[in-house]
């Protein structure tokens, strides 16, 4: 008999920073659901809004082309952007979906 054991990286010390919620995936990996002002694998980056396209300060609106898919919200950063994805989507542009082979373990 073979027993598959999931390495729950969310048990014990929470790898998510700044109030992020850790979710264990069936593959044994984890992801962090970050609070509103934070992003990144472990919610350790804070959004810093920088202005709109071609303003008098020279800022570029990286969200002007709507790079986020599946209802994701684009947040412009100084030199790039970040997509705040709706579940079950994730990835730089919310273009990846948690599939049947990788689900959240409750």
pLDDT of residue 1: 44
Domain layout of the chain by residue ranges:
1-46, 48-100
- Rounded to whole angstroms, the Cα distance separating 79 from 89 reads 24
Q: Do domains 1-46 and 48-100 have the same CATH topology?
A: yes
Rg of the chain, C-alpha, whole Å: 17
Cis amide leading into 88 (omega within 30): yes
CATH number of 1-46: 2.10.25.10
Each residue's pLDDT tens digit in the chain (106 positions)?
444 445 677 888 899 999 999 988 877 788 888 887 788 888 888 876 554 445 455 567 888 889 999 999 998 877 888 888 888 888 888 888 877 555 555 4
> Could you tell me the CATH superfamily of domain 48-100?
Laminin (2.10.25.10)
């Amino acid at each position: 008999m073979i027993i598959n054991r999931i390495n729950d990286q969310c048990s014990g010390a929470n790898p998510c920073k700044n109030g992020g919620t850790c979710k264990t995936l069936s593959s044994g990996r984890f992801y962090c659901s970050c609070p509103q002002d934070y992003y990144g694998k472990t919610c350790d980056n804070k959004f810093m809004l920088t202005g709109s396209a071609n303003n008098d300060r020279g800022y570029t609106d990286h969200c002007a082309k709507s790079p986020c898919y599946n209802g994701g919200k684009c947040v412009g950063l100084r030199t790039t952007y970040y997509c705040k994805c709706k579940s079950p989507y994730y990835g730089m542009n919310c273009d990846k979906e948690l599939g049947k082979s990788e689900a959240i373990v409750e």
